[in-house]
Amino acid sequence: MISKKMQKMVKGSSIIRAMFEEGNRLASIYGKENVYDFSLGNPNVPAPKQVKESIKMLVDTYEEPALHGYMNNAGFEDVRTKIANSINTKFSTNFNKSNIIMTVGAAGGINVIFKTLLDPNDEVITFAPFFGEYTNYADNFDAKLVIVPTQAPEFYPDLEKLASAITKKTKIVIINNPNNPTGVIYSEDMIIKITKVLEEKQKELDINIYIFSDEPYRELAYNGTVVPYITKYYKNTVVGYSYSKSLSLAGERIGYLVLPTELDCYKDIFDACSVANRILGFVNAPSLIQKVVGECLECQCDINYYKHNADLIYNGLTKIGFECVKPQGAFYLFVKSPIEDEKEFCQMAKKYNILLVPSSAFGCRGYIRLAYCVATKTIQNSLPNFEKLYQDIKNK
């Protein structure tokens, strides 16, 4: 018999993954080209050419077994130094290798920092809608996820409700910027307002509140929109980054944590994160791909492709009559459900071979998430079916 905690998790297994499997089933019946699967945020833009070239170069020139062996649990020192220097160049920060820990993607990084900071019954605040796995990651360490609503159509946090949600048990506030699932980017002004609330609450309650800045979509920002680097505004900030989207390396599971020296209890946190990397079973981030990203720090995937898809799907759906949040970043479109029950709407969409994810998977109601990291042809071919779906709803 599996554990009671896992029984609950299996029963509530990711609806996004379930929709992905449904897409495979429909494709086997109707043909892949006739199924419009917008469920999973799986990058379809190829990794930059330099990634493949770096893999070949490293395999051909690096001495064995160093390339594939263990290293410090925090990661290769030379890679961490390169990453710190790259961040400093981009954001005028002052990091070095002692501020970087290589992680098994963003998910690994979140679990490492949660393991480091959270005691049972501690509280982690997130803003709805939010990446659904946050619930499971908090539950991994018997912590409580506290959900603070945001205000449509901007989906900015309600600052009064944020302040009310903070208690003596609050340990972490998650900021996901650019946001999954809305595609919204929090402005500098909003970040400053959030940090002001946290600073006041730290003093009032005599506690340390850490921001976890979850940034796998940082490079996917459109029209020159600036994504603020939060360490510059709030000293107790930990940054989690992943190369899954910026280099289209989702399956390689590579990312890092930034732990600024200014953090309260910095040395303890850095040492604990290194140990957490090991005892959570990661041991260290994958060795070969650490070296690869170290060679590709100035590369990124074709963001213009995602921007083109964003414009195509946004303009196409709004022309039909759907109400959509215009994406500022990431590769998701947040669409208001034309009927009250967004789950029912997603079921109706399946009749037209359109796969969408209801916003209930992200902690709010009344919307659906559409991942436009698909072939442009998929979007073009789906629009007539969206039109039929919309008319079907309006005629009922």
257 part of a folded domain = yes
Which stretches of the chain score pLDDT less than 70?
12-17, 20
Q: Are residues 131 and 158 in the same domain?
A: yes
Tokens representing residue 381 in the block:
């071919």
* 240 and 362 together in one domain: no
Question: Is the Cβ–Cβ distance between 364 and 151 less than 8 Å?
Answer: no
Asked whether residue 280 is assigned to any structural domain, the reply reads yes
Residue after which a domain boundary falls, among 295, 320, 346: 295
pTM over 0.75: yes
What is the 3-state composition of the chain as percent helix, strand, coil, each rounded to the nearest 5?
A: 45, 15, 40
Same domain, yes or no: 251 and 319: no
Residues 113 and 252 in one domain: yes
Q: Which residue has the tokens 């205000």?
A: 151
Q: Among the three residues 295, 311, 330, which one is the final residue of a domain in this structure? A: 295
CATH code where residue 23 lies = 3.90.1150.10
pLDDT at 130: 97
79 and 180 inside one domain: yes
Residue 57 lies in a domain: no
**pLDDT on residue 64:** 75
Produce one character per residue of 221-242: b if its CB has 16 or more CB atoms within 10 Å, e if not. Answer: bbeeeebbbbbebbbbbbbbbb
Within this chain, do residues 165 and 256 fall inside the same structural domain, yes or no? yes
pLDDT at 282: 97
Spatial CB neighbours of 68, under 8 Å, sequence gap ≥ 6 = 287, 288
Same domain, 165 and 288: yes
Indicate whether 84 and 219 sit together in one domain: yes
CATH number, domain at 133? 3.40.640.10
Quick one: pLDDT at residue 13?
Answer: 66
Residue partners of 4: CB distance under 8 A and separation at least 6: none
Q: Are 243 and 386 in a shared domain? A: no
Tokens of 137: 């990651």
Query: Pick from 263, 295, 327: which residue ends a domain?
Result: 295
Verify that 152 and 190 share a domain, yes or no: yes
Assess whether 289 and 305 both reside in one domain. no
Distance, CA of 114 to CA of 165 (rounded, Å): 19
Cα separation, 118 vs 373, whole angstroms = 34
User: What per-residue confidence (pLDDT) applies to 322?
Assistant: 97
Structure tokens at 283: 């041991």
Domains of the chain: total: 2
**The pLDDT of residue 182:** 97
58 falls within a domain: no
User: Could you list the residue range(s) of the whole structural domain that residue 97 is in?
Assistant: 66-295
167 vs 152: CA distance, rounded Å: 26
Q: How far apart are alpha carbons 150 and 364 in whole angstroms?
A: 10
Residue 130 within any structural domain of the chain: yes
Domain-embedded: residue 60: no
* Sheet strands side by side (includes 324-325): 324-325, 332-336, 367-371, 357-358
Domain-located, residue 55: no
Could you tell me which of 356, 351, 370, 354 has the C-alpha nearest to residue 313? 370
- Give the CA distances from residue 292 to residues 74, 146, 254, 303, in Å, rounded to whole numbers and listed in that order: 16, 37, 10, 20
Helices (H) and strands (E) in the chain, counts: 13, 14
56 domain residue, yes or no: no
pLDDT value at position 309? 98
The number of residues in the chain equals: 396
Backbone CA torsion sign across 341, 347, 350, 351: negative
Residues 189 and 122 in one domain: yes
